[in-house]
Structure 1
Amino acid sequence: MANVVNWISVPAFFLYILCMAIAPWVQGGWDWIYVQSVWDRWQTLNTGVLAFGASVIALNISRYHTNKQRERRFVAAKAFLPHALSELIAYYKQCAKLLQEAWDLFENEELRAPITLNTVAPELPRDHQDIFNRCIEQAEPDVADYLAKILMRLQIHNARMKEMYLSLTQGDHTLVLQQNVMSYLYSLAQLQVAANKLFPFARGMKTFDNTNPTWDDYRNAYANLDFWWEDFQDLEGFTKRALERENAV
Structure 2
Amino acid sequence: MRIKLFIGLIFSVFFGWYLCSMVLIPLATEGYQSTLKIWFEWQTFNAGMVALLAAAITAGIAINLDAQARKLEKERARCESKRNFIAARAFLPHALANIDTYAQQCSTSLRSFYLANRLSPRSDEHKEDLAKEFSEHAKPNGFEPTFRDCIKYAEDENSEKMTQLLVELQVFLSRMSEFENEKSIPSNYALEMLVYSIHFQFRVASFYGFARKGTEIELTPSDQSAYYVRLSTLGDDHEAFSLGNDHSLDRYVERYSKLNELINH
Query: Normalised by the size of structure 2, how large is the TM-score?
Result: 0.67
Hey, what does 1:151 align to over in structure 2? 166
Residue 42 to residue 210, structure 1, CA distance change in 2 (3 Å) = farther
Hey, what does 1:93 align to over in structure 2? 104
Task: Tell me, yes or no, if the aligned pair for 1:229 and 1:236 is still in contact at 8 Å.
Answer: no
- 2: CA distance, partners of 1:16 / 1:194: 55
- 2: CA distance, partners of 1:224 / 1:33: 88
- 2: CA distance, partners of 1:188 / 1:229: 18
Q: Does 1:113 align with 2:128?
A: no
Q: Does 1:201 align with 2:201?
A: no
- 1: CA distance, partners of 2:228 / 2:21: 80
- 1: CA distance, partners of 2:106 / 2:75: 44
Q: Does 1:16 align with 2:7?
A: yes
Q: Write the deviation string for residues 115-166 of structure 1: whole angstroms up to 9, x where unpaired.
A: 3326711221224333323323333333333223323222221221121241
Matches within 5 A, 1:118-197: 120-121=133-134, 122-166=137-181, 169-170=182-183, 172-173=184-185, 176-178=186-188, 180-197=189-206
Please list every run of 5 or more consecutive structure 2 residues that lacks an aligned counterpart in the other structure. Answer: 25-45, 235-240
C-alpha displacement of 1:242: 3.0
Task: Tell me, yes or no, if the aligned pair for 2:227 and 2:253 is still in contact at 8 Å.
Answer: no
User: How many corresponding residue pairs?
Assistant: 228
Which has more radius of gyration? 2
- 1: CA distance, partners of 2:228 / 2:8: 63
Name the aligned partner's letter for residue 238 of structure 1: R
Matches within 5 A, 1:213-232: 214-216=221-223, 220=226, 223-224=229-230, 226=233, 228=241, 230=243, 232=249
Name the aligned partner's letter for residue 134 of structure 1: D
- 1: CA distance, partners of 2:225 / 2:20: 75
Task: Tell me, yes or no, if the aligned pair for 2:192 and 2:252 is still in contact at 8 Å.
Answer: no
Query: Normalised by the size of structure 1, how large is the TM-score?
Result: 0.70
C-alpha displacement of 1:81: 1.6
How much is the aligned-residue C-alpha RMSD, in angstroms? Answer: 3.7
Q: Could you tell which deviates more after superposition, 235-244 or 40-49?
A: 40-49
Residue 28 to residue 159, structure 1, CA distance change in 2 (3 Å) = same
Please list every run of 5 or more consecutive structure 1 residues that lacks an aligned counterpart in the other structure. Answer: 1-9
- 1: CA distance, partners of 2:145 / 2:62: 44
- 2: CA distance, partners of 1:224 / 1:27: 81
Identical-pair percentage: 18
Matches within 5 A, 1:73-84: 73-84=84-95
Q: Write the deviation string for residues 21-46 of structure 1: whole angstroms up to 9, x where unpaired.
A: 4x357757967848x98776576666
Name the aligned partner's letter for residue 15 of structure 1: F
